[in-house]
A and B are shown apart, each in its own frame.
Chain A
Amino acid sequence: MNPSHQQPLLSVQNVTKHYPVTSTLPWSPPKAFVRAVDGLSFEVLPRKTFSIVGESGCGKTTTAKLVLRLENPTSGRVLFQGRDIADLDRQQEAHYRRSVQAVFQNPFSSLKPRMRVIDLVAEPRVIRGTIGRDELRREVEHQLDAVGLDPAIINSFPHELSGGMRQRVAIARALILEPLMIVLDEPVSALDVSVRAQIMNLFKAIQDRSGISYLLIAHDLATTRYLSHQVLVMYLGQMVETAESNELFSTPLHPYTHALIAASAPSRRWENPEEYILESDLPSPIAPPSGCRFHTRCPRAFERCPSKVPELREISPGHHVACHL
């Protein structure tokens, strides 16, 4: 899992999250469980970007919530700097909250419309502890400058800003506490194409400058490849393949990874009309298919797939895949 044997910043160990499906009567026991995340393990290294990709409903956002401690895992542990985050005392928790920040998909809904930019960016800093008014303003201006915004917009409201500027405000807000890691949940998918590249370059520049780690949740593979060092592919709550980014995209092993890459590669009408297209529907995570969960949509499924769960095997250093083939 960890080729360089660096101490991981965040370590997710065999984490599972099941949500109960409540029946019509609120007091009766749950009918079933949605297995949003099922036995997931990965590590985020310092100064690196770790990405989780998959279709909607595969559990990637649930994973982000578990890491942010917005949800508690049903089983398994999430360790940050070696400590279980479910088990921190007050002071340690404050440190954890400070060290792990988040930037969400939609800067139109993640910024409170009635707060000015200065208050939005300053809010985390004010919560952390007392600070003088002037010093606070200086810090906010510094952060705005760091994300490429003109400090003159400090008194604007979010609706006065474009989508790209709003996302920059959200990033400044995450950066003001100088975190060690930022969870990026689809950070560019709500933005315009021409603005996406700016924001992606900003993420890279911040990482080069401050050595921050990112946990990137995305469904767009091109974005993922551009930003990440390590990639994990999830399907119906389970990991199907994980590898170093360039290796995963150049030599994908799992048929699902193949299909994902084929679906998002710029297939050109005038070049190759032949391409493999997945059956479009994801099975229900309440009753996932037996054996390999992907066998119902897999073009290369054979007898063993529906009956036996494939184990995660290491094919080459750092490249793990769960497939019978």
Chain B
Amino acid sequence: MLSSGSQNILEVKDFEVSVTTKRGIGRAVDGISFTLKAGETLGLVGESGSGKTLTSLAILGLQPQPAAQITGGQVLFRGDDLLKKTPSELRHYRGRRIGMVLQDPMTALNPVFSIGRQLYEPLQLHRHLSGRALREQAIELLRLLQISSPEIRLKSYPHQLSGGIRQRVVGAIALSCSPEILIADEPTTSLDVTVQAHYLALLNAIQKRTGTAILFITHDFGVVARMCDRVAVMYAGRIVETAPARQIFEQPAHPYTVALLKSVPDLTKPVDHLPSIQGSPPSIYNRPQGCSFAPRCSHVMTKCRETYPPETRLSKSHVASCWRCE
């Protein structure tokens, strides 16, 4: 990577996505802002329904339409607002400059086409390769993802491969055009722990070599610790805390982050009782006034139920939205 490490490659500002269903209009992504620097891994952490997946999809205009609509904000990719692009312009970004790995490799791959054909597609479309060069590039990509006997795998179909290999194939497709950003949405959730560890190590190694920035979406703090440089914690459509990964683990500031970290049992020592967060996250159609975490928070104050807390800067790179941090 030639550019300096601190350059912002992706800047998301006051991003809003609303979902309209029979139950009403819900703001699933409620004004979030974050930046992704070249070569770094940012973890977007949250529970299901927190809006993290919708954020990742909507960045590339892939949100399920017409139910979900982007209602505000900016997504600046190297200074260009992606939200102002026409669909055909966006297509030059998808796959080419921003690659994507989705959660379930079985649904991400088309079951009726061979691995080769699915791997050729982005290479033909974006890099205009053909013939021998195409095949060689595809084989090299499979090698990059440590897939054994790549020549044979090109002819295989998704059902003939194990989950771990399938997810690596999806990774190969996502990385095929050397994207500047890789969006990985829970890529290891459906994999076994051992396979997961292998995949994450591989992703780390590839990132070191290529300098791709990764937006890593997950609910698992174990994965965060392995992968991320910085972390943004999402709750009910908003980012409640952003900090370097190490600080999130060592000095979490937001009560939600603290509680979430505490509710994961420790493997290394016996635990008698696990503190749990009472209740469940609010529905997007019916968010409480004030801080969305207030009804479940053990440090709640009257102010919390009235107004949403502003962002407080705790250190140069550590930001949290909580009245207690004021």
Please pick, from A194, A219, A269, A279, the residue contacting B226 in the complex, using a CB distance under 8 A: A269
Q: Is A265 interfacial (CB 8 A cutoff)?
A: yes
Q: Is B73 located at the chain interface by the 8 A CB criterion? A: no
Question: B192 — which chain A residues lie within 8 A by C-beta?
Answer: 55-56, 219
Flag if B164 contacts A280 (CB, 8 Å).
yes
Asked if A301 lies at the interface with its beta carbon under 8 angstroms from chain B, I say no
Q: B112 an interface residue at 8 Å Cβ cutoff? A: no
Residue among B47, B162, B199 making CB contact with A193, cutoff 8 Å: B47
* Interface residue? B5 (CB, 8 A): no
Q: Is the CB of B249 within 8 A of A280?
A: no
Residues of B near A164 (CB, < 8 A) are 280
The minimal Cβ–Cβ distance linking A191 to chain B, given in whole angstroms, is 9
CA distance A200 to B194 in the complex (A): 23
Q: Answer whether residue A282 sits at the interface, using C-beta atoms and an 8 A cutoff.
A: yes
Interfacial residues of chain B within 199-239, with CB under 8 A of chain A in the complex: 199, 201, 219-222, 225-229
Within 8 A of B (CB), among A221-265: 221-223, 225-226, 245-246, 249, 259-265
Q: Which residues of A contact B194 (CB under 8 A)?
A: 55, 259-260, 263, 277-278, 280
Task: Give the distance in Å from the alpha carbon of A56 to the alpha carbon of B164 in the complex.
Answer: 11
Quick one: CB contact mask for A278-321 with B, threshold 8 Å, 1 for yes?
11111000000000000000000000000000000000000000
Q: Are B198 and A279 in contact (CB under 8 A)?
A: yes
Q: How far is the CB of A238 from chain B (nearest CB, A)?
A: 17
Report whether A193 and B267 are in contact in the complex, using a CB–CB cutoff of 8 Å.
no
Q: Which residue of A lies closest to B197 (CB)?
A: A263
Q: Which of A193, A198, A200, A262 has the most CB of B within 10 A?
A: A193
CB distance from B158 to the nearest CB of A (A): 16
Q: Is A27 an interface residue (CB 8 A)?
A: no
A289, B152: Cα distance in complex, Å: 22
Nearest CB on A from B209, distance (A): 15
Interface positions, chain A 18-36, Cβ under 8 Å from B, are none
Q: Are A192 and B219 touching (Cβ within 8 A)? A: yes
B259 within 8 A of A: yes
Contact B274 A200 (CB under 8 A): yes
Complexed CA–CA distance, A231 and B276 (Å): 24
| Cα(A83)–Cα(B315), bound, Å | 65
Chain A residues with a Cβ closer than 8 Å to the other chain, count: 44
Are A201 and B274 in contact, CB atoms less than 8 angstroms apart? Answer: yes
Chain A nearest CB: distance from B164 CB in Å? 5
Residue B193 interfacial (CB < 8 Å) = yes
**A282 contacts which chain B residues (CB < 8 A)?**
162
Known: A194-B259, A225-B270, A246-B270. A263 touches B265 (CB 8 A): no
> What is the minimal beta-carbon distance from B251 to any residue of chain A, in angstroms?
14
Closest residue of chain A to B235 (Cβ to Cβ) is A194
Say yes or no: A269 contacts B193, CB within 8 Å.
Answer: no
Say whether A193 contacts B268, CB under 8 Å: no
Residue of B198, B229, B259 touching A280 (CB-CB under 8 A): B198
Whether the pair A264, B267 counts as a contact (CB closer than 8 A) is yes
> Which residues of chain A come closer than 8 Å to B195, judged between CB atoms?
55, 280-281
Q: What distance in Å separates the Cβ of A34 from its nearest Cβ neighbour in chain B?
A: 15
Residues of B with C-beta under 8 A to A266: 221-222, 225, 267
Q: How far is the CB of A208 from chain B (nearest CB, A)?
A: 11
Is B277 located at the chain interface by the 8 A CB criterion?
A: yes
Residue A195 at the chain B interface, CB threshold 8 Å = yes
**B310: CB under 8 A from chain A?**
no
Q: CB distance B265 to A277 under 8 Å?
A: no
Contact A198 B276 (CB under 8 A): yes
In the complex, residue of chain A having the shortest beta-carbon distance to the beta carbon of B49: A192
Would A195 and B225 count as touching, CB distance under 8 A? Answer: no
Given known contacts A193-B220, A264-B222, A268-B249, is B274 in contact with A226 (CB within 8 Å)? yes
Please give me the residue from chain A that is nearest to B266 by CB atom.
Answer: A222
Which residues of A pack against B, CB within 8 Å?
Answer: 55-56, 162-165, 192-198, 200-201, 219-223, 225-226, 245-246, 249, 259-270, 275, 277-282
Q: Can you list 12 A-B contacts (CB < 8 A)?
A: A192-B48, A193-B220, A194-B263, A198-B276, A200-B265, A225-B271, A226-B271, A263-B197, A264-B197, A278-B194, A281-B162, A281-B195
Q: A163-B48, A265-B268 are in contact. List 16 more A-B contacts (CB 8 A).
A: A55-B193, A55-B195, A192-B280, A193-B220, A194-B280, A197-B265, A197-B275, A201-B273, A219-B192, A226-B271, A260-B193, A266-B222, A268-B246, A277-B197, A278-B194, A279-B198
